[in-house]
């Protein structure tokens, strides 16, 4: 399933959102490591950028509201975690195709824009995400 560069060979299709292509990648609690399943999704992003040289992507990292404890500054920590997640996606895409590095922008929204409102694992698991938007 992996090519010689460590990138997956098979791709999936992105969601359409207001004439933009949108991919979502989910993470475990307090983690920024990309799973093999997520790498499979990102291959479509890479292919899309290769076929559309005029497009750029914005990678936005998000977190849930439950994982931080032990007296840490929750808002600052979650902004940093969201950025680590976005940067992990960016680094993976660039590792698969160096020429894409100037067409990728990252940011973090931390816990500020939950996809699902709730105080349970179902909601939290959907909020631990990165959204990749190609336009």
CA-to-CA distance for 63 and 30, rounded, in angstroms? 8
Question: Assign residue 2 a region: left if phi > 0, alpha if psi is -120 to 50, beta otherwise?
Answer: beta
User: Which residues make Cβ contacts (< 8 Å) with residue 17, sequence separation at least 6?
Assistant: 133
- Tokens encoding 94: 């660039």
CA distance linking residue 68 with residue 77, whole number of Å: 8
For 50-82, write each residue's pLDDT tens digit.
999 999 999 999 999 875 555 568 889 999 999
pLDDT in tens, 4-15: 555 654 444 454
Domain 15-134 part of CATH 3.40.50.1980: no
User: Model-level pTM?
Assistant: 0.84
What gap in Å lies between CA 14 and CA 55, rounded to an integer?
15
């Amino acid at each position: 399933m992996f090519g010689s560069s460590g990138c997956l060979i098979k791709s999936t299709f992105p969601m359409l959102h207001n004439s933009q292509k949108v991919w979502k990648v989910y993470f475990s609690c307090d983690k920024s490591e990309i799973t093999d399943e997520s790498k499979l999704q990102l291959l479509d992003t890479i292919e899309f950028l290769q076929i559309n040289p005029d497009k750029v992507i914005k990678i936005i990292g998000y977190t849930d509201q439950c994982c931080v404890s032990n007296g840490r500054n929750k808002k600052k920590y979650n902004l940093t975690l969201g950025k680590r997640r976005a940067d992990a996606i960016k680094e993976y895409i660039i590792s698969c195709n160096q020429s894409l590095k100037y067409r990728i922008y990252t940011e973090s929204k931390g816990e500020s824009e939950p996809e699902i409102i709730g105080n349970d694992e179902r909601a939290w698991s959907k909020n631990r995400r990165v959204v990749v938007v190609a336009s």
